[in-house]
Amino acid sequence: MRTIRFRLAGDRQIADAMVVMLHELDKVDRVEEVADQMHARDDTSSLGLAGDGEDFHDIEVHVLDAKTAADVRDRIEIAGRDLSATLEFVDEF
C-alpha cells in the first residue's frame, strides 16, 4: 500500500471536489482529509504562496501499488490546475 499526502490551498468547495474526484478513481483504497485549518502566514507574498483567507486542506490518499500512486499523483496535479488550487506534496503533515 502506498500513501500520497498533499496540502491543498483553496476553499471548501475546491477541497470537496478534489476528494470526490479521488474517490472515483480505480485502485484508490481510501481518501481522507486529515486536517482542515486556516494558516496565517506573514511570508506568503514573498514566496508567491496562497494569500490571506484561503483554507489549507491536508489530504491523504491510500493506493494499492506504486504505478497507481504515480497515476493518482498526476491526476491530482491535473485536477489542481483545473480547480485553480495550489498543491504541495509532502512526506508528513
Q: Is the Cβ–Cβ distance between 9 and 85 less than 8 Å?
A: yes
Domain 2-43+50-90 bears CATH identifier 3.40.50.2030: no
Residue 93's pLDDT is 85
The whole-angstrom separation of Cα 40 and Cα 3 is 27
Task: List the domain boundaries for the chain.
Answer: 2-43+50-90
The C-alpha cell at 92 is 508528513
Q: One digit per residue, pLDDT tens: the chain, 93 residues?
A: 999 999 999 999 999 999 999 999 999 999 999 965 555 444 455 455 555 557 899 999 999 999 999 999 999 999 999 999 999 999 998
